[in-house]
């Protein structure tokens, strides 16, 4: 059995107000502790902002600047530039945002920061919807998922943000999952050592938003990885693909069946999603093989 091990310097503090069993809090714990003390973060309005702390308490030992929903990458850029002007080029600037603040309203600022190759580490906690506002669809919501604004299931696919970012040719884009904490920590370490814009998209199964039991978010995330719905991989310089999990060991249905938001699916819909996942997996294999 592979043992989990990441450094915990207690940079993420107990007493935060994430839901019981929330793996966004778990991911934040891994990421903040891996990045270390010499870091400043921005956080966009999201569950992450709530988790970071309500005044006057802070769950983080590093300074966090709460910014507006669409401004994550721009705010992080501002901090980085200020630190550069102060002769602190090595301080990591983290940009924490949800999928709404990344795929949707924050995409413009992120694209611009990526184009400028600002030296920031952008973490997208992707729970595939506006979960902090009660669960509405975002452009990250997958096909057929029920949300507060897609009560009959979303009729379009999830936006492929990774490919959009790859087109910016930034040093590193990676996916990470709270079911694979060593992989997550390794990616954060790697990103920390690189200069330029790094983006890590972390899949966050949302307990109330996805209809997942309090103790099942890690399991759900693991199934997402193992079914290929959310493959773990890296894209370096926009062109070099590396798959971190090379085998799919679960059916897509085993993943979908964990979640209330897919309870309504017909067998045909499951098949369609499986076919989509198969096709994307083949494309990734092709990319990883050097095209």
Partner 1 sequence: MQQPPSPLWTNASSRTRLTGTWRSAMPEYQDKPSPCRGACPVAGRIAEWVRQIELGDYYGAWLTLVDNNPFPAVAGRICHHPCEGACNRQQLDETVGICSLERFVGDMALAEGWCFPEPAAAQDQSVAIVGGGPAGLSAAYQLRRRGYRVVLFEERGQLGGLLRHGIPAYRLDKTILDGEIQRIIDLGVEVRLQSGIADAGALRALHAEYDALYLATGASRPKTLPELDYEQPWVQDGADFLAATNAGEACELGQRLVVIGGGSAAMDVARTARRLGRSVSVLALEPDALLPAQPIEVAEAREEGIEFITGAMLQAVESLGDGLKLQCVRVDFQQGETRGTFSVEPVSGSGFVLSADAVVPAIGQDADLARWDGLLDSDGPVVRTDAQWQTSRPGVFAGGDLASMDRFVTQAIGMGKMAAEAIARHADPLQPGAVAANGSEVPFAEINTDYHPLAGRLQPGNLEVEARLRTFDEVQHPLAQDEAIAEAARCFSCGTCIYCDNCYFYCPDMAIAKLEHGYDVKSDYCKGCGLCVAECPTGAISMGQE
Partner 2 sequence: MEAKNYPSNRLLLSGNHAVAWGVKLVCPDVAPVYPITPQTPILEKITEFQSQGELDMELLTPESEHSAMAACISASATGARVFTATSSQGLLLMHELLHYACGARAPIVMFNVNRTPASPWGFWPDQLDSLAQRDTGWIQLYSETPQESLDTVIQAYRIAEAVGLPTMISHDAFYVSHSMEPVEVPSQDLVREFLPRFEPRYRLDTELGQSFGAPIDQATWNRSRRDIAAAMALVADAVTAAGEAWGELTSRAYGPLEQYRMEEAEVVIVTMGSMSGTAREAVDAMRERGEAVGLLKVRLFRPLPAEALRQALAGVSCALVLDRNYSPGMGGILHQEIKSALFAMSGAPRLHGLLAGIGGVNVSAEKIQQLVDDCREVEPSVEAQWVE
Residues that bind partner 1 (CB under 8 A): 1, 3-6, 8, 10, 12-18, 20-26, 29, 53, 55-59, 61, 179, 181, 214-219, 222
Residue 1 interacting partner from partner 2, partner 1, none (CB closer than 5 to 8 Å by kind)? partner 1
Q: Binding to partner 2 by residue 86, rule CB under 8 A?
A: yes
> Interface with partner 2 by CB under 8 A: which range of 63-71, 142-150, 169-177, 193-201?
63-71
Angle 264-268-273 from CA coordinates, rounded to 5°: 85
Our CB check for partner 2 shows the closer of 53 and 171 to be 53
Name the DSSP letter for residue 215. Answer: T
Q: Binding to partner 2 by residue 109, rule CB under 8 A?
A: yes
The distance of Cα 232 from the centroid of its chain, to the nearest Å, equals 11
Residue 282 interacting partner from partner 1, partner 2, none (CB closer than 5 to 8 Å by kind)? none
> Interface with partner 2 by CB under 8 A: which range of 76-84, 125-133, 226-234, 248-256?
76-84
Instruction: From 47, 52, 77, 55, select the one nearest 64 (Cα to Cα).
Output: 52
> Interface with partner 2 by CB under 8 A: which range of 69-77, 139-147, 188-196, 210-218?
69-77
Residue 286 interacting partner from partner 1, partner 2, none (CB closer than 5 to 8 Å by kind)? none
Distance in Å from the first CA to the final CA of the chain: 34
Q: Do strands 240-243 and 233-236 pair parallel, antiparallel, or not at all (unpaired)?
A: antiparallel
H or E element at residue 4: none
What are the beta bridge partners of residue 22? none
Q: Binding to partner 2 by residue 31, rule CB under 8 A?
A: no
Would you say 43 and 36 are in contact if contact means Cβ atoms under 8 Å apart? no
Would you say 39 and 85 are in contact if contact means Cβ atoms under 8 Å apart? no
Residue 86 interacting partner from partner 1, partner 2, none (CB closer than 5 to 8 Å by kind)? partner 2
Residue 16 interacting partner from partner 2, partner 1, none (CB closer than 5 to 8 Å by kind)? partner 1
Residue 26 interacting partner from partner 1, partner 2, none (CB closer than 5 to 8 Å by kind)? partner 1
How far is 52 from 17, CA to CA, in rounded Å?
Answer: 8
How far is 108 from 106, CA to CA, in rounded Å?
Answer: 6
| Residue owning tokens 């949300």 | 147
Determine phi and psi for 201, rounding to 5 degrees.
-100, 115
Q: Binding to partner 2 by residue 50, rule CB under 8 A?
A: yes
Q: Binding to partner 2 by residue 199, rule CB under 8 A?
A: no
- Side-chain half-sphere of 104: how many Cα atoms within 13 Å? 20
Residue 114 interacting partner from partner 1, partner 2, none (CB closer than 5 to 8 Å by kind)? none
Instruction: From 132, 136, 204, 126, select the one nearest 160 (Cα to Cα).
Output: 126
Would you say 206 and 199 are in contact if contact means Cβ atoms under 8 Å apart? no
Q: Binding to partner 2 by residue 263, rule CB under 8 A?
A: no
Name the DSSP letter for residue 180. Answer: -
Our CB check for partner 1 shows the closer of 57 and 286 to be 57
> Interface with partner 2 by CB under 8 A: which range of 74-82, 171-179, 194-202, 271-279?
74-82
- Using CB under 8 A, list all residues that contact partner 2: 37-40, 42, 49-50, 52-58, 60-68, 70-71, 73-79, 81-86, 91, 108-109, 111-113, 115-116
């Amino acid at each position: 059995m592979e043992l989990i091990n990441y450094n915990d310097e207690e940079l993420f503090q107990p007493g935060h107000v994430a839901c019981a069993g929330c793996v966004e809090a778990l991911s934040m714990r891994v990421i903040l502790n891996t990045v270390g003390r010499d870091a400043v973060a921005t956080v966009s309005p999201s569950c992450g902002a709530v988790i970071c702390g309500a005044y006057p308490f802070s769950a983080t030992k590093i300074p966090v600047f709460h910014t507006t929903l669409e401004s994550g990458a721009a705010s992080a850029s501002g901090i980085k530039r200020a630190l550069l002007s102060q002769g602190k080029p090595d301080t990591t600037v983290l940009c924490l945002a949800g999928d709404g603040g990344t795929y949707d309203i924050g995409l413009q600022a992120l694209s611009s920061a990526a184009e400028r190759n600002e030296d920031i580490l952008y973490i997208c906690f992707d729970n595939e919807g506006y979960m902090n506002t009660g669960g509405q669809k975002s452009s990250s919501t997958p096909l057929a998922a029920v949300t507060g604004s897609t009560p009959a299931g979303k009729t379009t696919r999830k936006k492929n943000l990774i490919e959009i970012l790859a087109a910016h040719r930034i040093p590193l884009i990676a996916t990470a999952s709270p079911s694979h904490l060593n992989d997550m920590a390794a990616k954060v370490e790697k990103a920390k050592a690189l200069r330029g814009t790094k983006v890590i998209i972390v899949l966050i199964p949302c307990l109330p938003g996805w209809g997942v039991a309090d103790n099942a978010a890690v399991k759900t995330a693991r199934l997402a990885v193992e079914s290929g719905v959310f493959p773990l991989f890296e894209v370096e310089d926009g062109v070099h693909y590396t798959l971190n999990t090379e085998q799919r060991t679960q059916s897509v249905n085993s993943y979908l069946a964990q979640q209330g938001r897919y309870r309504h699916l017909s067998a045909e819909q499951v098949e369609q999603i499986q076919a989509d996942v198969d096709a994307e997996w083949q494309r990734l294999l092709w990319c990883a093989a050097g095209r």
